[in-house]
Structure 1
Amino acid sequence: MSQNNYSQVNRSNDPEQIDLLDLVLQLWRGKWMIATFVIVFIALAIGYLSVAKEKWTSSAIIAQPDAAQIATYSNALNILYGSAAPSMLDIQTRAIGRFNSSFSALSQALENQEDPEKLTIAPTTTGQPLPLTVSYTSTSAEAAQKQLAQYIQQVDEQTAKELALDLKDNIKEQIKTLNDSLVNQEKVAQEQKDLRIKQIAEALKNAEAAKITSPQLQQTQDVTQETLFLLGSEGLKSMIDNEASRPLIFSSAYYQTKRNLFDIQNLNVNPDTIHVYRYVMKPDLPVRRDSPKKAVILVLAVLLGAMVGSGVLLGRNALRNYKPKA
């Protein structure tokens, strides 16, 4: 028994053993010191909250434009390319795709500024290209909502102008193509006229050689190139004069090309009538700020203050009771 009592006393006097009850008593006796640290850390946290910049994020959800929002652009493409024009769905998809690209470029430019701005665009649902969620972070809820709406409008107007500019380039190219087609058709018609006159002139030579002056055929609809000279020299001379004075004869394709050219020349697409997105949800007014989080920071301040105060208290007591080993 005496040996066991001795070992228990010896263990209790061992400075390397941790006595939880003693720690609790030390913390209780130094509670005012710990409370002082907690108050100091709370004051620091309040000071940080008073000077820290607030961050509020406004978000909007957008999708491809309605048919009416892109109607003028679609109609222009239909006039330009006819049956080869892209479908309305293709045009809508391309429009929102260009909006996405331009918005991403703007986001990157804002991020690379000396004073960066946070503007993001991403699919609302993972794995689905549409709709898109766009967000902007600012120092106040109102500023975030207003600036996000302005950036969306800015990208919309920029993209509409780019589409209108592309359309003008396509119109110029199509006008050039149609004019070239008309010139070629006129050349063909002129060559056909010259060939017809040459054929009649050749028949006239044959008629003069055969000394045929008056028509030898009763039905002129049966005349072929080989029997043309039978119309007689007088009739053939009259035909040559008539053919020379007649205007060129064009096919229906020529006049269809003319109509297409006039329609395209009259095209005038105003960028203000083009919109490349549709709101599913307009920029919202955030009700909770992203940072700083008051409750979280105050709780952390209390915990850190208690931990630092406890550490200082226990460290001071340990140094006070420290006795070097013999």
Structure 2
Amino acid sequence: MTQNNNSPVSRSNDPEHIDLLALMLQLWRGKWTIAIFVFVFIAMAIGYLSIAKEKWTSRAIIAQPDAAQIATYSNALNILYGSAAPSMLDIQTRAIGRFNSSFSALSQALDNQDVPEKLTIEPAVKGETLPLTVSYISTSAEAAQKQLAQYIQQVDEQTAKELALDLKDNIKEQIKSLNDSLVSQEKVAQEQKELRIKQIAEALKNAEAAKITSPRIQQTQDVTQETMFLLGSDGLKSMIDNEASRPLVFSAAYYQTRQKLLDIQNLNVNPDTIHVYRYVMKPNLPVHRDSPKKPIILTLAVLLGLMMGSVVVLARNTLRNYKPKA
């Protein structure tokens, strides 16, 4: 077997036989060429790292609000609907559900901007609705943490205002309904009063027709509509005057309705006292950036430099030692 300094492959009768030792020698002799390629690719990687836009992700974990965070809203619903009001657990679940919907809407709006922003919300545990993980990607760790906290607060305030607005609408409807109920009860009481006076007036006519002026019955509790004329015309006239001057008589339900109306009219729920989420983990300050990954990029640069340099060296030697067959 013969070999010169420029021969990439040892002479052999087998065309598919490759002399690995000769191949390694070629690469060794072209080490400076390979080193230049490695240097160039590393320089390109460093240049890319210097101009590439960094991405840092801040994350937070949230869950449904505590009872104290939603207490004013819950108390208002209890006053409005009494025993028909939703339970505290239902209110907490609805609150975090509305937060999730509003946050998702904000995420889509930010993603559709001319300069998109990456804001996401998803279950922290696969298959579970709560808790939720929210994240935001920015060009620096501090900016990602700060902006995520601001977006969470923004959605919380917006959702609280929506709940308070819904509550005000419900209060208006309840006040109208209770006032209508009071008017109806007052009308019924007035009709009952007028009916009572008519009954006494009818008994007075009978008493005058029978010329009964003084009571003819001793036990007044036994008096019926048919026997009322026995009380005498004088007594019946007094009863008419008394009934006409008496205030309307209402049932206990009327006063309960008025009490409920006053309680509802005094409701004043401040959105600042409503919070629809609870932090399990506040927005963190990321330690490692998402991209660009410096170690990975530099490693790839070295590998690509080695590969390209080796290809150039081997191709150059192959062309240099190529001899066409006679």
TM-score of the superposed pair, with normalisation by structure 1: 0.94
Is 1:289 aligned with 2:317?
no
1:266 is the counterpart of 2:266: yes
* Distance in 2 between residues matched to 1:319 and 1:13, nearest whole Å: 20
Q: Read off the aligned partner of 1:42 and give its amino acid letter.
A: I
Residues 1:21 and 2:17 are matched in the alignment: no
- Which residue of 1 is the match for residue 6 of structure 2? none
Question: Hey, what does 1:316 align to over in structure 2?
Answer: 316
The 3-state SS of whatever aligns with 2:319 is helix
Query: What is the rounded CA distance, in whole Å, between the counterparts of 1:204 and 1:18 in structure 2?
Result: 136
User: How many Å separate the matches in 1 of 2:139 and 2:44?
Assistant: 22
Give the match for residue 129 of structure 1.
129
- In 2, Cα distance between the equivalents of 1:322 and 1:202? 138
Once the two structures are superposed, what CA deviation does each residue of 1:80-126 show, in whole Å capped at 9, x if it has no partner? 11111111111111111111111111111111111111111111111
Instruction: In structure 2, list runs of 5 or more residues that go unmatched.
Output: 1-9
Q: Return 159-168 or 190-199, whichever deviates more.
A: 190-199
> Does the 8 Å contact 1:64/1:93 carry over to 2?
yes
The one-letter code matched in structure 1 to 2:273 is T
Query: CA shift at 1:321, angstroms?
Result: 2.5
Shift of 1:318: 2.1
CA distance in 2, matches of 1:133, 1:258: 47
Q: Give the count of matched residue pairs.
A: 317
Task: Tell me how far apart the structure 2 counterparts of residues 109 and 23 of structure 1 sit (CA, whole Å).
Answer: 59
Cα separation, 2, equivalents of 1:321 and 1:184: 112
Distance 1:137 1:207 in 2: 95
Moved more, 267-276 or 199-208: 199-208
Aligned position for 2:116 = 116
Are residue 33 (structure 1) and residue 33 (structure 2) matched? Answer: yes
Q: Note the C-alpha offset of 1:11.
A: 7.9
Q: How does 1:82-231 map to 2 (within 5 A)?
A: 82-231=82-231
Amino acid at match of 1:38: V
The Cα of 1:319 is off from its aligned counterpart by 2.1
One-letter amino acid matched to 1:97: G
**RMSD, aligned CA:** 1.5
SS in 2 for 1:146: helix
Q: 1:319 to 1:15 in 2, by over 3 A?
A: farther
CA distance, structure 2, for counterparts of residue 324 and residue 180 of structure 1: 109
- How far residue 315 of structure 1 moved from its aligned partner, in angstroms, is 1.7
Q: Is the 8 A contact 1:11 1:17 kept in 2?
A: no
Q: Distance in 1 between matches of 2:175 and 2:35?
A: 85
State the shift of 1:301 in Å. 0.3
Match of 1:54 in 2: 54
Determine helix, strand or coil for the equivalent of 2:249: coil
CA contact (8 A) 1:175 1:264 kept: yes
- CA apart distance, 1:31: 1.1
Q: In the TM superposition, what whole-angstrom CA distance separates every residue of 1:129-187 from its partner, at most 9, and x where no partner exists?
A: 11111111111111111111101110110011001000100100000010010011011
Match of residue 7 from structure 2: none
The residue matched to 2:77 in structure 1 has which SS? Answer: helix
Instruction: Write the letter of the residue equivalent to 2:97.
Output: G
Query: Which consecutive unaligned segments of at least 5 residues does structure 1 have?
Result: 1-9
Instruction: Tell me the residue number matched to 2:256.
Output: 256
Counterparts of 2:113 and 2:319, CA distance in 1: 53
Q: Name the stretch that deviates more: 314-323 or 46-55.
A: 314-323
Deviation at 1:272, TM superposition (A): 0.5
CA distance in 2, matches of 1:45, 1:76: 62
Alpha-carbon distance in 1 for matches of 2:103, 2:180: 40
Instruction: Work out the CA distance in 2 between the residues paired with 1:147 and 1:124.
Output: 20
SS at match of 1:12: coil
Q: Give the letter aligned to residue 320 of structure 1.
A: R
Q: With structure 2 as the length reference, what TM-score do the two structures score? A: 0.94
Tell me whether 314-323 or 160-169 shows the greater mean CA deviation: 314-323
Q: 1:88 corresponds to which letter in structure 2?
A: M
Give the letter for the 2:220 counterpart: T
User: What is the rounded CA distance, in whole Å, between the counterparts of 1:33 and 1:45 in structure 2?
Assistant: 19
Letter in 2 for 1:131: P
Moved more, 309-318 or 269-278: 309-318
- Measured in 2, the distance between the counterparts of 1:315 and 1:206 equals 135
